[in-house]
C-alpha cells in the first residue's frame, strides 16, 4: 500500500502516456434498472383521459394567447409567428362579364350626363370674356 501511495504522490508526466501502456479502462458499470412505476391509486382515471385533458388544456392556453381571454391569470405574449390559421384571407377581386362591365359603364355615363344637365338647367354658364 505504501508503494501505491508513493505512485500517487509522484507528479504526472508532462506528456500523456500512450494508450496501450496506460492501465486498461474499466468498462462502465451497467445502469441501474429503472424503478417500476407506482401503481395508480384506486379510482384514478386512465392515462389516455389525462393525456387528452392535458392536450385540451394546452390548446386552451394556446388559443387564449391569440384571443387574450381573461380566464388565465397570466396573459401569454402575442405570438410573433404568422401561422397560416392566423392570416386573414385576402378578398379576391370579383371578375365580371364583359356585358356587365358595359352596362356599368353606360350607367355611369348616364349618371354623369344627368349630373351635368342639372347644373346646365340651373343657371346658364357665363360666356367666355371676349367672345360676345
pLDDT tens, position by position, for the chain (132 residues)? 666 666 666 665 555 555 555 555 566 666 666 666 666 556 555 544 555 565 566 555 555 555 555 555 555 556 566 666 656 667 777 777 888 889 999 999 999 999 888 776 555 556 666 555
C-alpha angle 15-17-20 in degrees, rounded to nearest 5: 160
Q: What is the chain's percent helix, strand, coil content, to nearest 5?
A: 40, 0, 60
* pTM of this structure: 0.22
Amino acid at each position: 500500500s505504501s508503494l501505491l501511495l508513493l505512485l500517487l504522490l509522484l507528479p504526472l508526466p508532462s506528456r500523456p502516456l500512450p494508450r496501450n501502456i496506460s492501465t486498461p479502462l474499466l468498462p462502465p458499470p451497467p445502469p441501474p434498472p429503472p424503478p417500476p412505476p407506482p401503481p395508480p391509486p384506486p379510482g384514478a382515471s386512465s392515462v389516455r383521459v389525462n393525456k387528452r385533458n392535458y392536450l385540451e388544456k394546452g390548446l386552451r392556453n394556446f388559443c387564449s394567447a391569440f384571443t387574450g381571454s381573461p380566464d388565465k391569470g397570466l396573459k401569454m405574449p402575442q405570438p410573433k409567428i404568422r401561422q397560416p390559421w392566423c392570416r386573414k384571407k385576402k378578398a379576391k377581386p370579383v371578375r365580371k362579364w364583359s356585358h356587365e362591365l358595359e352596362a356599368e359603364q353606360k350607367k355611369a355615363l348616364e349618371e354623369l350626363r344627368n349630373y351635368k344637365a342639372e347644373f346646365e338647367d340651373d343657371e346658364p354658364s357665363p360666356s367666355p370674356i371676349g367672345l360676345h
